């Protein structure tokens, strides 16, 4: 590639990292004064990062080595006693893939924002924040140890907070960003605890060193129980950042931010950070921890999908769909489908960003987010319509062998089915997976039908609708093409297996539960020609999921396509009123948190405050009063008894002092001068008596 | 003389001059605000000289407490008690008699101090002890000087209460 | 390391002496109470410098530094109380010119 070895030195990866940072600094300080308010600075910076990332990716592609790692040295940062923190860059296949995802989506979102945010009063500030986000996300991907991962993890959280609350005049946006930050904090607490546990037991932070230490020289007191606990703690970080149940509540609210932000952060990149982290630290997780991960992911997948069935806000549907898809990725990793899970991250990034940007285009045209205001838009916005349809086919896992989502989702379902066939007691996971897939197809087609087909429900808004400017449609087209061909140009998921392979678990079990480690499944098993159970599982999964998707799409069409309307959604909603309400109100999760967590905490805080002002202050004041009283008593004693005696003495002294009073001017300076004189005299005496020989 | 020695000399005399010159400004400036700011540099200079005597902790404490605390207090006092700093600039005593008297006393003190210091042979046993560390300081403070240390904390409390009592509006 | 002009101890002590004298001069000439406070700070600093210099170059023991810590603490307490007194004087008299305050004579 251009005759340059992009992976030969740290220069190029560092350049990828530092370009957005430079853009952020420029934008935040002088962005307002630049021509066009400096959007080109951010755009150019992320463009450079994108070009280098693609070049690196191409070189990785050419190498075709699943165990490729660029050997960069890491530098000592801090030393505290025996413990040393090193910083450095880790560049392997996973890094290269993630970098392309991050910079590409980021670049397209930058471009899209030029149109979408046009005329906003804090236009340059918005680009500054976008650059900050890109910087932190790239840093997160490039870091090679737990601590710098955590630092960038938090930076990503901060920039997400800034971007969600970008329109902070809106009360809902201000609340949403607070909610996102605080909810993430709960997860990050666990994450940090996990990191601390690993540092405590192993004294290492670098990924490779941690894995080696686990494998070779695990301390005796770092038992499997502790290791599972550490794994679950680490996973809590992913629960927060990747919006898994029960910390998913922030993501739907985060849609208060500008739509490009939703596409960039809350669909494609940041929420994938949790999944990426699990991928990175995969060898640390014990089979028990992985089971926890699988169940959380699977439950989230179906839980969020059911909510998405009945929402009426276009962005909320997509938000819950994101939560559900993230659940799929997490479940895929949990059941052992390492490649499938990460592969789903890669494909999902493109088609979910596409869907969000399409919804942004619709919102931009209609100035409304409510599905019930839409309809018949395909005539007005053909590009958006086609792009959105492609995105929908991709996310539903539509079988024709050219839409990306199909392969990745199939990989996950296959891995799940393999695990279930191996250990039937976990059959719930398979139900979660397949039902979730059915719901996904249903709500996405509902979205398409309600938005683009049928008769316009709001004539006035429909009249004003128009296709978006080119800066917005070009990213749509690019992403639509990518949604199709990110699955490896018609070749299925095999190509991915050439670059990403499941790492060996670093956990050496004392006694291996039956089939725990053999439950390697999914595309990998096929790729490696693994044994027949997995192969069969994969076959079943493909057939079953195609069947389910077709049934589900047919149902959606019968329900929502205006020409059929065989099934009345309203009637079903009426008949299943309690279920409908439960789903519509998102299982009342927010209300439950409000009632059982927030209010008790607030009450406890108030109690503490009352204790503080009542008891503690009271004690202090009481002491003060007692002191004052004691002082008063002393004062009385002073006046009556002592003064009497003293006055007597004083009378005589005054009489004597009158004579000496000549030099008493009452001015402190004169006293001082006398004191200095005395000092000089003493020094003189010392000199004369002791030192002069 | 090696380059290191030259640098050592330059840095030492830089701090020495900084201390003395800024202290002169404190003493001779008419404007009380100028004096206060010159005092800042005096404190810095003294902190630098502490470093040359192996008293790194004290240098840090000097900067923190004198510059960060006492100087700020002094500035507060100036701001709170001067209605208009410029108007008062001529207020300082400039009667020649007072200045002559003060100069006389000062020179006398200087001569007396040097007279006591210079005749003695101070070459001590310092060399045998090597460098002094903050650890030694901390040990001394919490072993031999523990009771004074605690007493001083009581004194600080008393000063705190006393200052608050005195400064309140009646 | 050697200095150009004599020994390190001599240098430090002479700097301390000069500081002390400047402090005395300040205290005597200033009429402003805050100015006097600054003079006192100068003198305290010169004393500290002596402590530190002797502790290092004469005794090689950290005891001198301990004294300096106490002096710094006392200086802080003193500054706080002095500020309070100055404010009190200011409230009562309307200015802080010490040459006009001679109530102590009574």
> Does residue B113 sit in the same domain as residue B148?
no
Query: What residue in C sits closest to A654 (Cα-Cα)?
Result: C106
Distance CA A626, CA A616 (A): 15
**Would you give the DSSP letter of residue A91?**
E
Rg of the Cα trace of chain B?
21
pLDDT, one tens digit per residue, over C15-45 is 999 999 999 999 988 888 888 999 999 999 9
Residue A528 structure tokens:
């490696």
Q: Give me the pLDDT at residue A136, please.
A: 92
Residue A600 DSSP SS3: helix
96-125 of B, contacting C, C-beta below 8 A: 98-99, 101-103, 105-107, 109-110, 113-114, 117, 122, 124-125
A687 to B116: CB separation less than 8 angstroms, yes or no: yes
A669 to C102: CB separation less than 8 angstroms, yes or no: no
CA atoms within 13 A on the CB side of A201: 23
Distance CA A333, CA A346 (A): 14
Question: Smallest Cα–Cα separation from A251: which of A311, A323, A357, A299?
Answer: A323
Rounded to the nearest integer, the mean pLDDT of chain B is: 83
Residue A73 structure tokens:
């040295």
Q: Give me the pLDDT at residue A435, please.
A: 87
Q: Which positions in chain C touch B3 (Cβ < 8 Å)? A: none
CB proximity list for A198: less than 8 A, separation 6 or greater: A146, A204, A205, A210, A230, A284
Q: Give me the pLDDT at residue C14, please.
A: 93
Residue C92 structure tokens:
């009562």
* Distance set, CA A455 to CA A458, A470, A553, A555 (Å): 9, 27, 21, 20
SS3 breakdown of chain A: % helix, strand, coil, rounded to 5?
75, 5, 20
C88 to B167: CB separation less than 8 angstroms, yes or no: yes
| B22 touching chain C per CB within 8 A | no
Residue A169 DSSP SS3: coil
pLDDT, one tens digit per residue, over C50-95 is 999 988 888 878 888 899 999 999 999 998 898 888 888 888 888 7
Distance CA C15, CA B48 (A): 13
> Does residue B25 sit in the same domain as residue B75?
yes
B53 to C99: CB separation less than 8 angstroms, yes or no: no
Distance CA A12, CA A18 (A): 10
Check: CB of residue C60 under 8 Å from CB of residue B58. Answer: no
User: Does some domain include residue B150?
Assistant: yes
For residue A109, the distance in angstroms to the closest alpha carbon of chain C comes to: 57
pLDDT tops 90 at residue B42: yes
CB proximity list for A630: less than 8 A, separation 6 or greater: none
Largest CA distance in chain C: 58
B156 to C19: CB separation less than 8 angstroms, yes or no: no
User: Does some domain include residue B126?
Assistant: no
Q: Which positions in chain A touch B109 (Cβ < 8 Å)? A: 676, 679-680
Return the exposure string of A192-222: e unless at least 16 CB atoms fall within 10 Å of the residue's CB, then b.
bbbbebbbebbebbbbebbbebbeeebeeeb
Q: Give me the pLDDT at residue A502, please.
A: 77
Residue A540 structure tokens:
């079943």
Q: Which positions in chain A touch C98 (Cβ < 8 Å)? A: 667-669
Indicate which of A687, A688, A693 best probes the interface with B, i.e. most B CBs within 10 Å of its own CB.
Answer: A687
Q: Give me the pLDDT at residue C69, please.
A: 92
Question: Smallest Cα–Cα separation from A505: which of A147, A220, A228, A204?
Answer: A228
For residue B101, the distance in angstroms to the closest alpha carbon of chain A comes to: 10
Indicate which of A654, A669, A671, A676 best probes the interface with C, i.e. most C CBs within 10 Å of its own CB.
Answer: A669
* Cα-Cα-Cα-Cα dihedral sign, residues A580, A584, A589, A591: negative
User: Does some domain include residue B122?
Assistant: no
Q: Give me the pLDDT at residue B84, please.
A: 55
Q: At what angle do helices A404-422 and A287-308 cross, to 10 degrees?
A: 130
Q: Which positions in chain A touch C104 (Cβ < 8 Å)? A: 664, 666-668
> Does residue B160 sit in the same domain as residue B103?
no
Residue A358 DSSP SS3: helix
> Does residue B163 sit in the same domain as residue B102?
no
Query: Residue B100 belongs to what domain range?
Result: 1-117
B160 to C80: CB separation less than 8 angstroms, yes or no: yes
Check: CB of residue A549 under 8 Å from CB of residue A397. Answer: yes
Q: Give me the pLDDT at residue A663, please.
A: 60
Strand partners, A143: A89
pLDDT, one tens digit per residue, over B65-80 is 988 888 988 888 888 8
> Does residue B14 sit in the same domain as residue B92?
yes
pLDDT tops 70 at residue B86: no
pLDDT, one tens digit per residue, over A130-152 is 999 999 999 999 988 888 899 99
* Residue B24 pLDDT grade (very low, low, confident, very high; cuts 50, 70, 90): very high
> Does residue B113 sit in the same domain as residue B136?
no
* Residue B6 pLDDT grade (very low, low, confident, very high; cuts 50, 70, 90): confident
Check: CB of residue A326 under 8 Å from CB of residue A305. Answer: no
Q: Which positions in chain C touch A661 (Cβ < 8 Å)? A: 105
| A692 touching chain B per CB within 8 A | yes
CB proximity list for A316: less than 8 A, separation 6 or greater: A252, A255, A308
Helices (H), A83-122: 93-116
Residue A605 structure tokens:
């805080």
B58 to C87: CB separation less than 8 angstroms, yes or no: no
Q: Give me the pLDDT at residue B89, please.
A: 46
* Distance set, CA A504 to CA A214, A228, A289, A498, A528 (Å): 12, 17, 15, 16, 15
> Does residue B93 sit in the same domain as residue B161?
no
Strand partners, A91: A70
> Does residue B167 sit in the same domain as residue B89?
no
The ipTM value here is 0.89
State residue A339 phi and psi, 5-degree precision.
-65, -45
Query: What residue in B sits closest to A627 (Cα-Cα)?
Result: B161
> Does residue B48 sit in the same domain as residue B95?
yes
Indicate which of B99, B115, B118 best probes the interface with A, i.e. most A CBs within 10 Å of its own CB.
Answer: B115
Q: Which positions in chain A touch C27 (Cβ < 8 Å)? A: 669, 672
Give the angle A385-A252-A577 at the CA atoms, nearest 5°: 90
For residue C73, the distance in angstroms to the closest alpha carbon of chain A comes to: 23
Strand partners, A75: A87
Q: Give me the pLDDT at residue A529, please.
A: 42
Q: How many domains does chain B fold into?
A: 2
Among candidates B108, B113, B120 on the partner chain, residue whose Cβ is nearest the Cβ of A691: B120
Per DSSP (E only), the strands in B32-136 are none
User: Does some domain include residue B85?
Assistant: yes
**Residues of chain A whose pLDDT is less than 50?**
1, 490, 510-530
Q: Give me the pLDDT at residue B168, please.
A: 78
User: Does some domain include residue B159?
Assistant: yes
Q: Which positions in chain B touch A683 (Cβ < 8 Å)? A: 112-113, 115-116
Q: Give me the pLDDT at residue A375, please.
A: 76
> Does residue B79 sit in the same domain as residue B146?
no
Q: What is the CATH number of the domain that holds B100?
A: 1.20.120.1200
Check: CB of residue A210 under 8 Å from CB of residue A204. Answer: yes
Residue A241 structure tokens:
């950042």
Q: Which DSSP string do the residues of chain C spell out, in sequence order?
A: ---SSS-HHHHHHHHHHHHHHHHHHHHHH--BHHHHHHHHHHHHHHHHHHHHHHIIIII--THHHHHHHHHHHHHHHHHHHHHHHHHHHHHHHSS-BGGG--GGG-
Distance CA A555, CA A566 (A): 9
Q: What torsion do the CA atoms of A438, A440, A443, A447 make, to the nearest 10 degrees?
A: -140
Distance CA A358, CA A167 (A): 21
User: Does some domain include residue B124?
Assistant: no
> Does residue B59 sit in the same domain as residue B143?
no
Q: Give me the pLDDT at residue A471, please.
A: 77
Strand partners, A370: A313
User: Does some domain include residue B8?
Assistant: yes
> Does residue B13 sit in the same domain as residue B73?
yes
User: Does some domain include residue B42?
Assistant: yes
C21 to B109: CB separation less than 8 angstroms, yes or no: yes
Return the exposure string of C10-37: e unless at least 16 CB atoms fall within 10 Å of the residue's CB, then b.
bbbbbbbbbbbbbbbbbbbbbbbbbbbb
């Amino acid at each position: 590639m251009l005759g340059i070895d992009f992976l030969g030195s740290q220069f190029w990866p560092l350049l990828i990292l530092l370009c957005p940072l430079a853009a952020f600094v420029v934008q935040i300080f002088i962005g307002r004064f630049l021509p066009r308010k400096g959007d080109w600075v951010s755009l150019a910076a992320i463009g450079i990062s994108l070009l280098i990332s693609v070049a690196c990716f191409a070189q990785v592609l050419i190498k075709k080595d699943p165990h490729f790692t660029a050997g960069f040295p890491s530098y000592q940062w801090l030393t505290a006693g025996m413990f040393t923190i090193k910083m450095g860059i880790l560049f392997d296949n996973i890094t290269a893939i993630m970098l392309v995802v991050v910079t590409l989506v980021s670049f397209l979102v930058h471009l899209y924002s030029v149109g979408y945010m046009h005329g906003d009063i804090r236009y340059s500030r918005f680009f500054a924040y976008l650059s900050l986000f890109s910087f932190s996300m790239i840093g997160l991907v490039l870091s090679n140890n737990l601590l710098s991962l955590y630092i960038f993890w938090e930076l990503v959280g901060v920039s997400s907070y800034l971007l969600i609350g970008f329109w902070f005049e809106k009360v809902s946006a201000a609340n949403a960003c607070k909610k996102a930050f605080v909810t993430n904090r709960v997860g990050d607490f666990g994450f940090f605890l996990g990191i601390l546990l690993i540092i405590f037991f192993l004294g290492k932070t670098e990924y490779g060193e941690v894995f080696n230490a686990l494998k070779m020289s695990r301390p005796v007191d770092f038992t499997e129980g502790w290791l599972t606990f550490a794994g679950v703690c680490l996973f809590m970080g992913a629960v927060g950042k990747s919006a898994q149940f029960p910390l998913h509540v922030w993501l739907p609210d985060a849609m208060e931010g500008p739509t490009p932000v939703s596409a960039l952060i809350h669909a494609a990149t940041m929420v994938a950070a949790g999944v990426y982290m699990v991928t990175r630290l995969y060898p640390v997780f014990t089979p028990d921890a992985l089971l926890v991960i699988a169940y959380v992911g699977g439950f989230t997948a179906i839980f969020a999908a059911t909510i998405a069935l009945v929402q009426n806000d276009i962005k909320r549907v997509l938000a819950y769909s994101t939560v559900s898809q993230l659940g799929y990725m997490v479940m895929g990793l949990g059941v052992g489908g390492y490649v499938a899970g990460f592969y789903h991250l890669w494909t999902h990034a493109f088609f979910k960003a596409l869907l969000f940007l399409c919804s942004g285009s619709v919102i931009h045209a209609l100035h409304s987010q409510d599905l019930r205001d839409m309809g018949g838009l395909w005539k007005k916005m053909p590009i958006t319509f086609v792009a959105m349809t492609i995105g929908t086919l991709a996310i539903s896992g539509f079988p024709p062998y050219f839409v990306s989502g199909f392969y990745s989702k199939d990989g996950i379902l296959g891995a799940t089915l393999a695990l279930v066939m191996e250990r039937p007691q976990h059959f719930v996971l398979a139900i979660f997976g397949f039902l979730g897939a059915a719901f996904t197809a249903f709500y996405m087609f509902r979205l398409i039908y309600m938005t683009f087909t049928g008769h316009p429900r709001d004539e006035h808004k429909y009249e004003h609708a128009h296709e978006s400017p080119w800066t917005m449609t070009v990213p749509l087209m690019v992403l639509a093409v990518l949604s199709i061909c990110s699955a490896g140009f018609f070749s299925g998921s095999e190509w991915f297996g050439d670059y990403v392979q499941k790492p060996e678990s670093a956990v050496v079990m004392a006694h291996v539960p039956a089939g725990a480690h053999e439950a390697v499944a999914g595309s990998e098993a096929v790729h490696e020609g693994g044994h027949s159970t997995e192969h069969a599982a994969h076959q079943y999964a493909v057939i079953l999921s195609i069947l389910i998707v077709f049934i589900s799409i047919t149902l959606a069409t019968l329900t929502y396509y205006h020409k059929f309307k065989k099934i009345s959604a309203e009637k079903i909603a009426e008949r299943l009123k309690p279920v409908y309400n439960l789903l519509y109100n998102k299982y009342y999760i927010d209300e439950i948190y409000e009632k059982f967590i927030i209010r008790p905490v607030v009450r406890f805080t108030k109690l503490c405050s009352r204790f503080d002002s009542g008891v503690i202050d009271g004690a202090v004041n009481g002491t003060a009063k007692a002191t004052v009283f004691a002082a008063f008593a002393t004062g009385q004693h002073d006046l009556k008894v002592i003064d009497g005696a003293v006055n007597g003495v004083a009378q005589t002294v005054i009489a004597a002092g009158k004579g000496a009073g000549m030099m008493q001017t009452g001015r402190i300076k004169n006293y001082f001068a006398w004191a200095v004189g005395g000092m000089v005299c003493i020094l003189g005496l010392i000199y004369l008596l002791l030192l002069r020989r | 003389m090696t380059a290191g020695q030259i640098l050592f000399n330059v840095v030492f005399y830089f701090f020495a001059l900084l201390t003395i010159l800024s202290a002169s400004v404190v003493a001779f400036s008419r404007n009380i605000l100028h004096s206060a700011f010159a005092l800042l540099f005096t404190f810095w200079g003294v902190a630098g000289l502490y470093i040359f005597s192996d008293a790194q902790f004290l240098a840090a404490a000097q900067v923190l407490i004198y510059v960060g605390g006492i100087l700020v207090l002094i500035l507060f006092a100036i701001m709170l008690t001067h209605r208009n700093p410029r108007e008062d600039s001529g207020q300082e005593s400039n009667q020649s008699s007072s200045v002559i008297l003060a100069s006389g006393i000062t020179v006398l003190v200087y001569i007396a101090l040097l007279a006591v210091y210079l005749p003695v042979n101070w070459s001590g046993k310092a060399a045998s002890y090597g460098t002094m560390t903050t650890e030694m300081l901390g040990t001394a403070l919490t072993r031999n000087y523990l009771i004074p240390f605690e007493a001083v904390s009581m004194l600080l409390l008393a000063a705190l209460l006393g200052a608050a009592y005195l400064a309140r509006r009646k | 390391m050697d200095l150009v002009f004599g020994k390190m101890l001599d240098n430090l002590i002479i700097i301390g002496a000069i500081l002390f004298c400047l402090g005395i001069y300040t205290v005597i000439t200033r009429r402003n109470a805050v100015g006097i406070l600054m003079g006192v700070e100068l003198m305290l600093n010169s004393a500290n410098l002596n402590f530190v210099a002797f502790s290092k170059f004469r005794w090689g023991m950290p005891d001198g530094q301990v004294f300096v810590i106490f002096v710094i603490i006392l200086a802080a307490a003193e500054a706080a109380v002095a500020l309070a007194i100055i404010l009190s004087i200011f409230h009562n008299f309307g200015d802080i010119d010490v040459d006009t305050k001679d109530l102590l004579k009574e």
